[in-house]
Chain A
Amino acid sequence: MDADPAARLRIESPDREICVRAENISKNFGGIRVLENVSFEIAKGEILGFLGPNGAGKTTTVRILTGFFPPSSGRVWIAEQDLARNPGRAKQRIGYLPESIGLYEDMRVEEFLKFSGAMKGLKSAARKEQVAQKIERCGLGDVRKRLIGRLSKGYRQRLGLAQALLGDPELLVLDEPTNGLDPKQIIEIRTLIRELGRERTVFLSTHILPEVSMVCDRVIIMSRGRLVASGTAEELEAGLKKAREILVTAGEPWRRDEAIGLLRSLPGLEDVRVVKEEPDQVSFSMTVPADKPDPRAEISRLFVEKGIALLEIRSARLSLEEIFMRILSSDDSAAGEAS
């Protein structure tokens, strides 16, 4: 079910203005290679989703992009600035919301934002204005005098977003911004991100596929420290939905070949095969392309017509996440055993 290799790593058209360029970055932690030659570009104004299962190396990539630690090899440019050579100027252009954001628990919300503004080099008048503006933007008005240690998870996340936005950086790097939030807050944060994405470049790391399709222009997928796919959300989803599977269990194993023949005669069913054969029943599986209608009604009608006992018919249509995980696990098994 893999797309052809050429489509997996697509080369960006060179005429677009580039905001982030990562070139062959690798990272080792004590001899263990966590990132392996990762290269990608983000065009100016693009919202790029960065997908991958736990431990894929998303946070590591994000930390390299934001200059938290350097890559073991490879280079990063942020808006034409080499991150290794001009860290100050490159970082000036980044607003970063870390994965599980650590905050100064005994500072107050507004006080912390003023401090953040100072760290970003905002002078006092501009700082005051920016802080007020981001408090408003991120809905922190009610808690501006509250101790950060007493904030709920949702407010902490908003505060993290507010500090990232201070100074209006042209690149926003968000590492799993909706992690641990309740559904209402998730929707609010996503809406906020989408709005923010109108004005700037966004790099959104997540392991939630729908989040990406809702928010992002384009997606890159990482597994086990390597990039395995890239494309728009629609392209990826179309590719993934091919994995939709139908399972049919019939009651009379001796009529197996007849049943297979019936199934193969139906248009749009691919890869029909027997998956399990027991003394009193037999199971078939087949896949259906995303653009074809659900064939289950047709199958049951056909079986009843021929008098084959139909015990079960099930569409193994997986949720997007599950299909996504499946692709990645097939990548895992292809690469050997998962570490």
Chain B
Amino acid sequence: MRKAFALARKDANAYFQSWAGAFAFAFFFLVAGILFSIVVMTYSKISLDVSKGYQETQGLGLTRFIWGSFFANIGAVLIFLAPILSMRAFAEERKQQTLELLFTYPLSDFDIVSGKFLGMVWFFEALFLPTLAYTALLHWLGVEPDWGPVLVGFLGFWLLGLAYLSLGLFVSSLTDNPVVSAIVTFGLLLVFWVLEWVVSIADGPSARLLALLSPLNHYQEFTVGILDLSNVVYFVCFQLYFIFLAMRSIEARNWKG
């Protein structure tokens, strides 16, 4: 595992130094910032209506409103973010033809795949942890959120991110072109997103099955502060499945460099 960590560290460093990483950072901060401001402004507008008789209890209502809408919307941002974070994983190594070294070092396939996965997970975490600062900002403004649901929301966001990244990891192992990897990952995530729409419109057993498969459907409960173990299990299975596929994909490595 020490080797996997070393590989992850190399990859995370490379993300931080790459244009894709810088772009991801800028993109995420911009979107998260704008989203958060909109949510807070909308909330304060509604709060002003309190005088007109719209009563709401301070704690839970605020948390649910601000963080609930924040998480619900930021989930969509991941559809754009995950492809950018995962595109380099294997595709870049293949482009630079460095896999020949990596695969001939005394590493197991599991070391390689988990190292690759961890590398982008670390970068992803570095990316979204600062959003916790928004909570601190509210605290400074004198608004105390209900911490439980906020943390559940973050947990959900983290799990959704990891799920998307694992899918991107697998796609990246199939191509030697990072851009192709990003586009295909984006396409697949879009399909999942559309799945969620279909589910919300259609009805019947097949719709229920689709709802079961749809990551966003499982994510939704996290955003409103509900921690259901089955949702956690779903995301863990989702990741393990794609990590498994990525391992199978690099096992069959008859490519040229």
Q: Residue B101 contacts which of A29, A96, A100 (CB distance < 8 angstroms)? A: A96
Q: By the criterion CB–CB under 8 Å, are A106 and B104 in contact?
A: no
Q: By the criterion CB–CB under 8 Å, are A104 and B105 in contact?
A: no
In the complex, what distance in Å separates the CA atom of A89 from the CA atom of B97? Answer: 24
Q: By the criterion CB–CB under 8 Å, are B96 and A104 in contact?
A: yes
In the complex, what distance in Å separates the CA atom of A300 from the CA atom of B10? Answer: 71
In the complex, what distance in Å separates the CA atom of A308 from the CA atom of B17? Answer: 79
A162 CB to nearest B CB, Å = 12
Q: By the criterion CB–CB under 8 Å, are B106 and A68 in contact?
A: no
With an 8 A cutoff between CB atoms, is B58 at the interface? no
Q: Which of A111-119, A245-253, A261-269 contacts B (4 or more CB under 8 A)?
A: A111-119
Q: Residue B6 contacts which of A68, A94, A118 (CB distance < 8 angstroms)? A: A118
With an 8 A cutoff between CB atoms, is B56 at the interface? no
CB contacts under 8 Å to A, within B211-226, are none
- Chain A residues with CB under 8 A of B105: 91, 116, 119-120
Q: By the criterion CB–CB under 8 Å, are A102 and B96 in contact?
A: yes
- Chain A residues with CB under 8 A of B102: 119
Q: By the criterion CB–CB under 8 Å, are B104 and A66 in contact?
A: yes
Q: By the criterion CB–CB under 8 Å, are A120 and B96 in contact?
A: no
Q: Residue B98 contacts which of A69, A94, A102 (CB distance < 8 angstroms)? A: A102
In the complex, what distance in Å separates the CA atom of A118 from the CA atom of B18? Answer: 22
With an 8 A cutoff between CB atoms, is B7 at the interface? yes
- Chain B residues with CB under 8 A of A106: 14, 17-18
- Chain B residues with CB under 8 A of A88: 106-108
Nearest residue in B to A175 (C-beta to C-beta)? B100
Compute the total of residue contacts between A and B using a CB distance below 8 Å. Answer: 76
A136 CB to nearest B CB, Å = 22
Q: By the criterion CB–CB under 8 Å, are A94 and B104 in contact?
A: yes
With an 8 A cutoff between CB atoms, is B139 at the interface? no
Q: Residue A115 contacts which of B10, B106, B254 (CB distance < 8 angstroms)? A: B10
Q: By the criterion CB–CB under 8 Å, are B101 and A102 in contact?
A: yes
B255 CB to nearest A CB, Å = 8
- Chain A residues with CB under 8 A of B18: 106
With an 8 A cutoff between CB atoms, is B253 at the interface? yes
In the complex, what distance in Å separates the CA atom of A91 from the CA atom of B106? Answer: 5
With A29-B254, A91-B105 as contacts: A102 and B3 at CB distance below 8 Å: no
Per DSSP, chain B at the interface is helix
With an 8 A cutoff between CB atoms, is A103 at the interface? yes
Nearest residue in A to B108 (C-beta to C-beta)? A88
In the complex, what distance in Å separates the CA atom of A94 from the CA atom of B107? Answer: 12
Q: Residue A102 contacts which of B2, B10, B97 (CB distance < 8 angstroms)? A: B97
With an 8 A cutoff between CB atoms, is B257 at the interface? yes
- Chain A residues with CB under 8 A of B101: 96, 98, 101-103, 116, 163
Q: By the criterion CB–CB under 8 Å, are A100 and B97 in contact?
A: yes
With an 8 A cutoff between CB atoms, is A139 at the interface? no
With an 8 A cutoff between CB atoms, is B147 at the interface? no
Query: Which of B2, B101, B107, B108 has the largest number of chain A CB atoms within 10 A?
Result: B101
With an 8 A cutoff between CB atoms, is B65 at the interface? no
| A75-118 near B? 1/0 per residue, CB < 8 Å | 00000000000011101101010101111111100000001101
| A112-136 near B? 1/0 per residue, CB < 8 Å | 0001101111000000000000000
Q: By the criterion CB–CB under 8 Å, are B100 and A102 in contact?
A: yes
- Chain A residues with CB under 8 A of B10: 104, 107, 115
With an 8 A cutoff between CB atoms, is B23 at the interface? no
With an 8 A cutoff between CB atoms, is B244 at the interface? no
In the complex, what distance in Å separates the CA atom of A94 from the CA atom of B96? Answer: 22
In the complex, what distance in Å separates the CA atom of A102 from the CA atom of B106? Answer: 18
- Chain A residues with CB under 8 A of B106: 87-89, 91-92, 119-121
Nearest residue in A to B103 (C-beta to C-beta)? A68
Q: By the criterion CB–CB under 8 Å, are A119 and B6 in contact?
A: yes
Query: Which of B14, B99, B106, B107 has the largest number of chain A CB atoms within 10 A?
Result: B106
With an 8 A cutoff between CB atoms, is A63 at the interface? yes
Q: Residue A103 contacts which of B3, B14, B98, B104 (CB distance < 8 angstroms)? A: B98
- Chain A residues with CB under 8 A of B14: 104, 106-107
A197 CB to nearest B CB, Å = 20
| B85-125 near A? 1/0 per residue, CB < 8 Å | 00000000000111111111111100000000000000000
A104 CB to nearest B CB, Å = 6
- Chain B residues with CB under 8 A of A87: 106, 108
B168 CB to nearest A CB, Å = 20
Q: Residue A63 contacts which of B3, B7, B17, B100 (CB distance < 8 angstroms)? A: B100
Identify the B interface with A (CB < 8 A). 2-3, 6-7, 10, 14, 17-18, 96-108, 253-254, 257
User: What are 29 A-B contacts with C-beta separation under 8 Å?
Assistant: A67-B103, A67-B104, A68-B100, A69-B253, A88-B108, A91-B104, A91-B107, A92-B106, A94-B104, A96-B101, A96-B104, A98-B101, A98-B104, A101-B97, A102-B97, A102-B98, A103-B96, A104-B10, A104-B96, A104-B98, A105-B96, A106-B17, A107-B14, A118-B2, A118-B3, A119-B107, A120-B105, A120-B106, A163-B101
In the complex, besides A69-B254, A96-B100, A98-B101, 11 extra interface pairs with C-beta distance below 8 angstroms are A68-B100, A68-B103, A68-B253, A69-B253, A87-B108, A102-B100, A103-B98, A118-B2, A119-B107, A120-B106, A121-B3
Identify the A interface with B (CB < 8 A). 29, 63, 66-69, 87-89, 91-92, 94, 96, 98, 100-107, 115-116, 118-121, 163
The 10 closest A-B pairs by CB, nearest first: A102-B97, A118-B6, A91-B106, A119-B105, A66-B104, A92-B106, A102-B98, A98-B100, A88-B106, A96-B104
